Structure 1
């Protein structure tokens, strides 16, 4: 088996989280999870939450750290929530597989994670500023997944009835320096293994702030910061779950259901 690359410096990530004091995005995610569980309309008796912030999520289930090897006991839970930390996983598919193994038959898996559109404004401005000031680029942002790819990961991990959707939250800041400060306070500072091991030059940060202001500021001079949160839903397979019909097994023709006239397909150009 091929070993996945080590993207995240785990000790650095834990240090960042220890210094975190702002959790409004986790509050958003927590509320989203509650709404989705209400829609499921099922009582869960042994929920588990994989999280980097156990105090924030303990009210919804038993917290487990998001280590590479999860401590979830196999087959012990009817609900597993992966709470806004899957984007830091070195092996996202491995995390999903471990969560599936922790579920009982017909148990529910729900993950919220940052998607590929997250902070696209800041990423573009930092890249432009660093190339201009330093003549190169350094790793600053995780390679976050796109929704069209993440749904496929659920299938690879063996979940039934997989669904991927997303919502976006836009937060406005006075300037890019305040945004970067807020990211550190959220515990979402740079913890990439390949990151620079020295502070970023102030000239790069100031130039990035100038570019951000020039390209994105509104009429009041405030800048937007986009956070895309992708929601992944899947179920541990069970015989009672609906199965896709076999091709040709429909009892009615689609034209009859829609009360529509059937049009014959063209046979192609006549041969001379």
Structure 2
């Protein structure tokens, strides 16, 4: 079955190459993701010797000091700067069972075949290997979405990427064959003086419109969107925009992992258990 290409792969590579120099000025969301992944990793008491940083950007994430870290990015310039390889996340060039940890911060929401990418992540992980990922999803950018709808009432067009919600993220992990899946969300609020500054951040972090068949906005549409965005501002003249950061945790299958008890193997019926907590007459 052919997966529809909703993102322009070539445009994504070009844009990632263009943002390399100025990326640190717009990296606040990925920095929050990296902090969240590091916090989750700190709670795992085991060694990781071979790690894949998938969507490495500037190679600022060092999951475990002293481990061997392979870097991979869809943009050639980021991959080159990080000493890694250039490849799309749903077309990984690595051999099966090459890593015991895969981390990915800030790219999973831009992949044409996300189920396929997660399946490849499972394949490159060794048995009982860990996957940690984070991306922008959920109910992100509600003010911008509303402003764009208002600006394009006569000819609506897709300007923002479809957002993956929390439940779907967890389902995708299970669908890929990963075990013990956990998906959770952290929300950041950023206050903008105008929509132009928000557009700058989205471009600078590589999160601008990459949809196939996209068309540029007219000057009138941009002006109306800016006015609608400003209308949503608070008393300080700034508009509070929301970013939902979706975090994923899952493991590659292994016979050593804990498994739920077989159905019907319980030693006490539910009715009997409930009787113990029933109030006396």
Normalising TM by the smaller chain, what interval?
0.7 to 0.9
Matched, 1:71 2:93: yes
Shift of the alpha carbon at 1:124? 1.6
Q: Distance in 1 between the 2:260 and 2:132 partners?
A: 22
Residues in 1 aligned to 2:9 and 2:163: alpha-carbon distance in whole angstroms? 17
Which residue of 62, 69, 86 maps to 2:108? Answer: 86
Does the Cα contact within 8 Å between 2:141 and 2:243 map onto a contact in 1? yes
- Deviation at 1:187? 1.6
Measured after TM superposition, the shift of residue 55 of structure 1 is 2.8
Q: Does 2:158 correspond to 1:146?
A: no
- Name the structure 2 match of 1:213: 230
* Cα 1:59–1:152 shift into 2, 3 Å: closer
Does residue 136 of the first structure (1) align with residue 144 of the second (2)? no
Residue 98 of structure 1: aligned partner = 120
What is the CA-CA distance between 1:56 and the residue it aligns to? 3.0
Measured after TM superposition, the shift of residue 257 of structure 1 is 8.7
State yes or no: 1:171 paired with 2:170.
Answer: no
- Which has the larger displacement, 65-74 or 115-124? 65-74
Alignment partner, residue 251 of structure 2: 235
Aligned to 1:222: 238
The answer to whether the 8 Å contact 1:167/1:229 transfers is: yes
Question: What TM-score, normalized to structure 1?
Answer: 0.87
Match of 1:32 in 2: 36
The Cα offsets for residues 31-84 of structure 1, whole Å up to 9 and x where unpaired, read as 111101001122211111110514333666321124031123210110011221
CA distance, structure 1, for counterparts of residue 99 and residue 257 of structure 2: 18
In the other structure, the counterpart of 1:201 is 218
Matched with 1:14 is: 13
Q: Which has the larger radius of gyration?
A: 1
Q: Structure 2: 5+ residue runs without aligned partners?
A: 75-87
Following the alignment from structure 1 to structure 2, what is the Cα–Cα distance between the partners of residues 77 and 30?
19
Whether the aligned pair in 2 keeps the contact of 1:96 and 1:154 (CA below 8 Å) is: yes
Equivalent position to 1:121, from 143, 153, 169? 143
RMSD: 2.0
- What are the superposed Cα offsets for residues 118-154 of structure 1, whole Å, 9 maximum, x if unpaired? 11210121121112xxx21122111121111111111
Match 1:245 to one of 258, 261, 270: 261
Helix, strand or coil at the partner of 1:11: helix
| Shift in Å, 1:178 | 1.2
* CA gap 1:258/1:29 in 2 versus in 1, 3 angstroms: farther
Asked whether the equivalents of residues 64 and 72 of structure 1 are also in contact (C-alpha less than 8 Å), the reply is no
Report the TM-score when normalising by structure 2.
0.85
1:210-230 Cα deviation digits (max 9, x unpaired): 11222x311101111111111
TM-superposed CA distance for 1:116, in Å, is 2.9
Correspondence 1:62 to 2:81:
no
Ranges of 4+ aligned residues in structure 1 off by more than 6 Å: none
